[in-house]
Amino acid sequence: MPKKVSVVEKIYNANDQLALENRAKLDEAGVLTINLMASPGAGKTSLIERTLEALRDRFKIAVIDGDIASSIDADRAAAAGATAVQINTGGSCHLDANMLRNALSQLDLKEFDLLIVENVGNLICPAGFQIGAHKNILIASTPEGDDKPYKYPTMYQNVDVLLINKIDLLSLLSFDMDYFQKGVKILSPNLVTFPVSCQTGEGFDAWLNWLITAIKEA
């Protein structure tokens, strides 16, 4: 058992070192980088498309899409106006710092104001691997249920911003917003939260204002 623990620690330490190197490269380029995480179907790609639609004429934006297979999400990001790079993880359930480093080499980072990294759809593995992004963003969608902060606490403890997507469906669901937000506040009292709908655009102004401010600060 101690040997296994030692190997795992080495993996995490090596990843964290590469994440620091990625961060240094991103800082030098002056490009705000966000790591977008969520379960499958929560709305990561839809959020990216709406964000691109609103900001593509104002900022230069690149998107790195992580998926186990296919280039579907990267193709959608490119169609929405971003410079897109696809990472196929070959079965891995998350992106790591080395994968991001390889993708960064395909971009002239100084050309961009914002880099959006769409992580693999998963509420477990992405929380454990730093990649070097400036902000970790989590999307929770109402159809997933209001118990997710209680079932996946690590994910909710390691993010800077939470978007609650698909609020247009609340009247059709038994989603208890108070119960959900209580769980969030227990885990991360100061977490910035934006209820939004990628379908209708409701709540998007607040999210965009936060993002624009973060881009300017970067």
Note the pLDDT of residue 12: 79
126-182 pLDDT, tens digit per residue, is: 998 999 999 999 999 999 999 999 999 999 998 999 999 999 999 999 999 999 999
Note the pLDDT of residue 67: 92
Count of C-beta atoms within a 10 Å radius of residue 3: 7
Token duo for residue 3: 């040997």
Higher-scoring residue by pLDDT: 69, 147 = 147
Note the pLDDT of residue 90: 84
Note the pLDDT of residue 91: 83
Half-sphere exposure of residue 111: CA atoms within 13 angstroms, side-chain side: 9
Cα distance between residue 141 and residue 17, in whole Å: 33
12-25 pLDDT, tens digit per residue, is: 799 999 999 999 99
pLDDT band for 5, please (50, 70, 90 cuts).
low
Say how many domains are in the chain. 1
Q: Is the Cβ–Cβ distance between 47 and 73 less than 8 Å? A: no
Q: Looking at residue 185, which CATH number applies to its domain?
A: 3.40.50.300
Cα distance between residue 196 and residue 152, in whole Å: 21
Reported pTM: 0.93
Query: Rounded mean pLDDT of 18-43?
Result: 98
Query: The domain containing residue 123 runs over which residues?
Result: 2-217
Percent of the chain with pLDDT over 70: 95
